[in-house]
């Protein structure tokens, strides 16, 4: 029995004239996600995506798990392919649903007939296939309201398909269809989640990480590589820009008021993230900030870092509670890495009493004590980039 994967396009079905360019991006992304398993044939007809392989898919379970992570898909299922012939449809439905049905007790058959030339109507298909299953599998009954298993028969242009279980897809818009943004990626819980959420809305990601040797060690850096690599399951081909931050932090500590250290440091992060965004061709920055979470994430502190950014700063977690962020981080498998106890450059110099309502004029006064262009230039010239796969 031949098996393929059928998927439903997500929100891109709402697009008008430019829908085909979204579909092309989605097809390219699915093929890319499946590359470890070979070359696949992927096509879209009437919002349904057909995923098949010349000579058959060898490992449908593996292929299915890769496609589940592709943004732009609302739902997907594995489906058996058969001829558009009622006898073949019935036999295939029996063979394909037997396992699932024997473990459960109730079922119903649903049918979609997009090929209107097929001689049987949808209600007839449901009735015939349902009767056939009842006759051939002991101990099952029909429940049209609350069935344990729904057996779906679709009669389409090229063939008929039988499937039993639709699961939700990754949702969102095709990766890369909304442009590109640069994620400020720390080793914490929040920033990988922020990156995932914006990638889900179709932004291709690059990332920038600030590290401060010898205050932060190799293990802390490795943790960020690991997080980037876990994100790359959703966000392929990510470039990670690494910025030496030690000199800047030492200069701030030596010259500026302690209670303003964090906001001044975050303004340097924004200047350097702007530079990394330019290098990677990104049109926006993304951070994992959430309103009120820490002193640097008050409205005042956020406005003061925002005002100097040359790019729009996207903060998808701004209205989320920590436990909601943790739930997403568990879902995307970054949580266990994020909680490894390595230091971050933000934490090594944390002031005892950071000012929660900083004033811009005071910040500018403190910044005047630093040679900002030279510090930024030094950090940009030492910036390195790593490709994450």
Which residue ranges make up the site for ligand ATP (CB under 6 A)? 184-186, 188-191, 208-210, 287-289, 294, 296-297, 344-346
Query: With CB under 5 A as the contact rule, which of the stretches 5-13, 143-151, 185-193, 222-230 interacts with Mg ion?
Result: 185-193
Residue 132 site contact among Mg ion, ligand ATP, none (CB < 5 to 8 Å, cut-off depends on kind):
none
Residue 287 site contact among Mg ion, ligand ATP, none (CB < 5 to 8 Å, cut-off depends on kind):
ligand ATP
CA distances to 10, 260, 299, 313 from 361, in Å: 47, 12, 16, 22
Least Å distance between CB 265 and Mg ion? Answer: 15
Extract the tokens encoding 80: 């058996």
Could you tell me which residues are beta bridge partners of residue 183?
207, 286
Q: Which is nearer to ligand ATP, 233 or 318 (CB)?
A: 318
Residue 345 site contact among Mg ion, ligand ATP, none (CB < 5 to 8 Å, cut-off depends on kind):
ligand ATP
Taking the C-alpha atoms of residue 387 and residue 35, their distance in angstroms, rounded to an integer, is 18
Q: Which of 3, 128, 190, 274 binds Mg ion (CB under 5 A)?
A: 190
Residue 174 site contact among ligand ATP, Mg ion, none (CB < 5 to 8 Å, cut-off depends on kind):
none
Q: Which is nearer to ligand ATP, 206 or 287 (CB)?
A: 287
Residue 111 site contact among ligand ATP, Mg ion, none (CB < 5 to 8 Å, cut-off depends on kind):
none
Q: Which is nearer to ligand ATP, 162 or 345 (CB)?
A: 345
Q: Which is nearer to Mg ion, 35 or 303 (CB)?
A: 303
Using CA of residue 211, residue 178, residue 230, residue 325, what is the dihedral sign?
A: positive
Of all residues in this chain, which one has the CB nearest to ligand ATP in the complex?
Answer: 188
Q: Where are the beta strands (DSSP E) in the chain?
A: 2-9, 41-45, 48-52, 73-82, 106-113, 141-142, 149-155, 160-163, 167-171, 179-184, 203-211, 238-244, 284-286, 312-314, 384-388
Of all residues in this chain, which one has the CB nearest to Mg ion in the complex?
Answer: 190
Residue 379 site contact among Mg ion, ligand ATP, none (CB < 5 to 8 Å, cut-off depends on kind):
none
Q: Which is nearer to Mg ion, 111 or 329 (CB)?
A: 329
Least Å distance between CB 204 and ligand ATP? Answer: 17
Q: What angle do CA 278, 264, 186 make, to 5 degrees?
A: 60
Least Å distance between CB 305 and Mg ion? Answer: 14
67 touches 106 (CB < 8 A): no
Q: Which is nearer to ligand ATP, 94 or 277 (CB)?
A: 277
Taking the C-alpha atoms of residue 39 and residue 23, their distance in angstroms, rounded to an integer, is 18
Q: Where are the alpha helices (DSSP H) in 5-121?
A: 19-34, 60-67, 86-103
> How many Cβ atoms from other residues are within 10 Å of residue 117's Cβ?
8
Is residue 290 classed exposed, middle or buried when 0-12, 13-18 and 19+ CB atoms within 10 A define those classes? buried
Q: What are phi and psi of 92, to 5 degrees?
A: -65, -40
Residue 76 site contact among ligand ATP, Mg ion, none (CB < 5 to 8 Å, cut-off depends on kind):
none
Least Å distance between CB 252 and ligand ATP? Answer: 14
Residue count, binding to Mg ion (CB under 5 A): 1
Q: Which is nearer to ligand ATP, 297 or 337 (CB)?
A: 297
Q: Under the rule (CB under 5 A), what is the footprint of Mg ion?
A: 190
């Amino acid at each position: 029995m031949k098996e393929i994967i059928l998927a439903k396009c997500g929100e891109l079905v709402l697009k008008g004239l430019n829908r085909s360019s979204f579909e092309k991006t989605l097809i390219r992304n699915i093929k890319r996600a499946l590359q470890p398993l070979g070359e696949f044939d992927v096509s879209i007809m009437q919002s349904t995506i057909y995923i098949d392989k010349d000579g058959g898919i060898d490992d449908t379970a593996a292929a299915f798990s890769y496609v589940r992570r592709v943004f732009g898909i609302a739902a997907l299922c594995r489906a058996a392919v058969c001829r558009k012939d009622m006898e073949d449809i019935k036999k295939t439905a029996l063979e394909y649903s037997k396992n699932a049905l024997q473990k459960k007790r109730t079922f119903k058959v649903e049918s979609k007939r997009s090929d209107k030339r097929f001689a049987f109507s949808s209600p007839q298909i449901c009735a015939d296939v349902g009767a056939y299953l009842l006759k051939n599998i002991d101990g099952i009954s029909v429940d049209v309201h609350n069935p344990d298993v729904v057996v779906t028969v679709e009669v389409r242009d090229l063939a008929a398909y039988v499937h039993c279980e639709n699961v939700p897809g990754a949702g969102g818009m095709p990766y890369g269809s909304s442009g590109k943004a640069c994620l400020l990626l720390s080793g914490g819980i929040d920033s990988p989640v922020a990156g995932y959420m914006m990638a889900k809305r179709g932004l291709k990601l690059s990332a920038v990480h600030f590290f401060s040797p010898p205050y932060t060690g190799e293990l802390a850096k490795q943790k960020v590589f690991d997080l980037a690599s876990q994100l790359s399951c959703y966000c392929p081909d990510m470039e990670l820009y690494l910025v030496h931050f030690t000199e800047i932090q030492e200069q701030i500590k030596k010259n500026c008021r302690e209670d303003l250290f964090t906001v001044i440091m975050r303004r340097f992060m924004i200047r350097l993230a702007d530079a990394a965004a330019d290098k990677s061709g990104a049109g926006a920055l993304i951070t994992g900030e959430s309103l009120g979470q820490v002193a640097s994430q008050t409205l005042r502190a956020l406005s003061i870092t925002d005002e100097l950014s040359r790019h729009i700063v996207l903060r998808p977690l701004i209205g989320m509670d920590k436990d909601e962020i943790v739930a997403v981080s568990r879902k995307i498998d970054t949580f266990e890495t994020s909680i490894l106890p390595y230091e971050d450059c933000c934490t090594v110099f944390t002031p005892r009493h950071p000012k929660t309502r900083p004033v811009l004029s005071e910040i500018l006064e403190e910044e005047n004590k630093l040679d900002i262009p030279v510090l930024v230039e030094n950090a940009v010239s030492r910036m390195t980039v790593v490709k994450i796969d």
